[in-house]
């Protein structure tokens, strides 16, 4: 294989995020696993809508969304958490999945 393989849904999500944040490569952008890159991806997404822990892992390649949200909160962003029941890509049920939303009036 020539490089990292990502699913089409991840590529589409990465392309949308790249367009929103002016990144040069969707693959490079989504595969950067530094905490800073994960925070940036998560924050860029939250500025346009809510996201669950399951979706943040799958679509944004944010392995520990709760940790990144914690860090963003300490940087002054007002992010609220709503717990809900959800299903993963394989249809398996999960209870108390976090849904994160950015509230206007926070940092920067």
Q: Residue 83 domain-assigned? A: yes
Residues 6+ apart with CB under 8 A from 65: 42, 51, 53, 56, 57, 98, 100
Q: 8 versus 86: which is more confidently predicted?
A: 86
Looking at the 3D structure of the chain, how many domains does it have? 1
Q: Residue 108 domain-assigned? A: no
Do the Cβ atoms of 79 and 51 come closer than 8 Å?
no
Q: Stretch 21-39: mean pLDDT, rounded?
A: 78
Range of the domain at 13: 8-102
Q: Residue 52 domain-assigned? A: yes
Axis-axis angle for helices 53-60, 65-74 (nearest 10): 100
Asked whether residue 12 carries a pLDDT value surpassing 80, the answer given is no
Asked whether residue 44 carries a pLDDT value surpassing 60, the answer given is yes
Q: Residue 2 domain-assigned? A: no
Q: How confident is the model at residue 38 (pLDDT cuts 50, 70, 90)?
A: very high
Average pLDDT for the chain: 84
- Rg for the chain, CA atoms, rounded: 14
């Amino acid at each position: 294989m020539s490089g990292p393989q990502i699913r089409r849904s991840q590529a589409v999500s990465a392309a949308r995020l790249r367009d929103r944040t002016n990144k040069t490569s969707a693959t490079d952008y989504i595969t950067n696993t530094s905490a800073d890159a994960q925070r940036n991806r998560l924050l860029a997404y939250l500025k346009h809508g809510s996201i669950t822990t399951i979706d943040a892992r799958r679509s944004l390649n944010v392995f520990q969304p709760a940790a990144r949200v914690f860090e963003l909160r300490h940087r002054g962003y007002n992010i609220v958490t709503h717990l809900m029941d959800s299903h993963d890509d394989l249809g398996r049920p999960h209870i108390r999945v976090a849904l994160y939303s950015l509230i206007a009036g926070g940092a920067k």
